[in-house]
Amino acid sequence: MRQTPVPPWGTTRMQPFAEAVAIPAFTPVIDPETQIAVIVDEAGRTVELGGHGTSTSGLTPTTTSPGDGSGPGGATDADSTESFDQDQSSG
């Protein structure tokens, strides 16, 4: 008795790709006056890509000293706190 192979489940859900849409070409260049990178389109016009913020991140170590100063010994502890600051993006 010969059995017909069953296709894998994922292949039964496949469909043709959607139609591709042409995306205009943008090129990064350096502005000779300001020495800042700008993006230009195919016609050479400057393109605004929206606001991109900046952020900073840092790791701050914290420690505790042994005892309260009235006697020797005591436990010590150390850990760190991570901070993350982000400015306001315009866009």
Residue 42 within any structural domain of the chain: yes
Question: Would you call 47 helix, strand, or coil by DSSP?
Answer: strand
Q: What is the pLDDT of residue 78?
A: 63
Q: What is the pLDDT of residue 23?
A: 82
Residue 35 within any structural domain of the chain: yes
Question: How many whole angstroms separate alpha carbon 63 and alpha carbon 17?
Answer: 57
Residue 16 within any structural domain of the chain: no
Which range of residues forms the domain containing residue 31? 24-48
Residue 87 within any structural domain of the chain: no
Closest CA to 25 of 6, 8, 44, 52: 44
Strand partners, 60: 81
Q: What is the pLDDT of residue 91?
A: 46
Q: How many domains does the chain have?
A: 1
Residue 5 within any structural domain of the chain: no
Residue 60 within any structural domain of the chain: no
10-residue stretch averages of pLDDT, the chain, 91 residues long = 84 86 87 89 85 66 63 61 59 46
Q: Are 55 and 87 spatial neighbours (Cβ–Cβ below 8 Å)?
A: yes
Residue 44 within any structural domain of the chain: yes
What count of Cα atoms within 13 Å lies in the side-chain half-sphere of residue 13? 3
Residue 54 within any structural domain of the chain: no
Q: Are 67 and 74 spatial neighbours (Cβ–Cβ below 8 Å)?
A: yes
